[in-house]
Each structure stands twice: as structure tokens, then as C-alpha cells.
Structure 1
Amino acid sequence: MAAVIDVNATVKALIDAIQKQAKQGWTKISTLVTQQSKMMAQQAAWIAESSIAGTLKDDLRGWFADQLADSVRSLASDVAALTILTAEKVWNAAVKVLWGAINQALSVASKGLLTLPAL
């Protein structure tokens, strides 16, 4: 019996789809990290320089340091959310390719189609 699904073509389509989604996700994450890192590094430098120069009092230094910590927490949370979104997009892309290949073969054979699985 001949193969109903071209495995090599499906592998290529699967890799391409996953790679596309992963790259797009990484682009969004790296853009966010780059922008936020610059701002946080500048704030850290300002805290250090102002503290050393004596223009930033101890009580305010703690407040600004707490604000910087909040910024880091927020960035980590945003990176986690974008990572989860990227993983979901990778899942959707992979399922679309694999179930598409199966359903194309089933359609030719006049069999019922598989519904896409939920994540």
C-alpha cells in the first residue's frame, strides 16, 4: 500500500510552521526585553550615581530600588506571557499541519474528518 501522507513533505511543513511561530515569538520577546532592559539599566545607573553623589537620600533610594524591582517583575511576567502565547501558536501551527495532512488523506478516501484537538 502506498503512503497516504507524504511523510517528508509533512515533516518539512511541520518544521517550517513551528520555526515561523517560534521566530515570531522570539522577535516579540527580544524587542520587549531590549526596550525594557535599556530603561532599567538607565534607572539602575541613576540610582547608583545619585546615591554615590549624595543627591539621592537613603529613604528615596529604597523607594526607587523597589520601583526598579517592580519593573523587573513586570518584565519577567510579560516574557512569561509571551512565551506561553508563543507555545500556543507553535501548538496550533503543528496541529494544523498534522491534522491537515490526515484530513486531506481521509477526504480523498471519503472518510470522516478528524476535529482539531484542543491544547
Structure 2
Amino acid sequence: MAIDVTQLVEEITNTATQVLNQDVKQLRGFSARQVQAIAQQAAFIEAGILSGQITEETRDFFLDSLEDMALTFVKTLRGLVMVTVEKVWNAIVGVIWKAIESTTGIVLPQPGL
């Protein structure tokens, strides 16, 4: 029995879509919360500067902390994206290996990313 290329393309696409949809929802929730927190912190800093509670001497401290928040957000987002890419790759390779195994009867070793 030969691999049905059209069916394999559909299975690969569906598998990748399922993984991405699940992870994108998680990424959206995380990013929305983090961006909200960063924006609120920026508003607090703005209010502090305008009210004089944040002085010229302390302004850099607060701005640096805001920069750190943004950098941490981006680094975490980058890590989550890399995990998602690995999940998609694993899922796609699993579908391909299963198709080959089912037609050849050979158990293939699972590759690692």
C-alpha cells in the first residue's frame, strides 16, 4: 500500500493547525496580560512624573524597570514561540513517520529536534 500524498498533506496541515491554534490561544492570553501590565506601569510612571512623585533623580530607575519588563516579556515570548515551533515539528514528523510505518511495516526511530 502506497502513501496517499494528498491525504498525508492534509494530515500534516491539520496536525500543524491543531498545535498552532492551541498554542496561539495560550500565547495570546499571556501576551495580552503582559502588555496590559506594561501599559499600566507606563501610565503609573507618567502619573508619577506629572505629579512630581517621580523626580528627575528617580525617573531613570522607573524607566529602567519598565525597559526590564518589556525585555522580559519579549524573551519569554521568544521562548514560548520556540516551544511551539518544536511542538509543530514533532507533530508533523509524527504524522510522516506514522504514514511511512503503516505502509512499510518498519518501526522508525523518532528523530529529535
TM range (shorter): over 0.9
Aligned residue type for 2:92: A
Asked if 1:99 corresponds to 2:93, the answer is no
Equivalent of 1:116, from 106, 110, 113?
110
1:1-41 CA-to-partner distances (Å, cap 9, x unmatched) read xx611212111110010011112221122111100111110
* Gaps in structure 1 of 5+ consecutive residues: none
The runs of 4+ residues in structure 1 deviating greater than 6 Å are none
State the partner residue of 1:20. Answer: 18
Shift of 1:55: 2.0
Q: 2:43 aligns with which of 42, 45, 51?
A: 45
- Paired letter, 2:25: T
Q: Distance in 2 between matches of 1:48 and 1:34?
A: 21
Q: Normalization by structure 2: what TM-score?
A: 0.92
Matched residue SS, 1:31:
helix
Which of 35-44 and 56-65 deviates more? 56-65
CA RMSD of aligned residues (A): 1.2
Matched, 1:64 2:62: yes
Give the letter for the 1:76 counterpart.
V
State the structure with bigger RCO (CA 8 A, min sep 6), 1 or 2: 2
1:54 to partner: Cα distance: 1.5
Q: CA deviation at 1:52?
A: 1.5
Scaled by the length of structure 1, the TM-score of the pair is 0.88
Unaligned stretches of 5+ residues in structure 2? none
Percent identity, please: 30
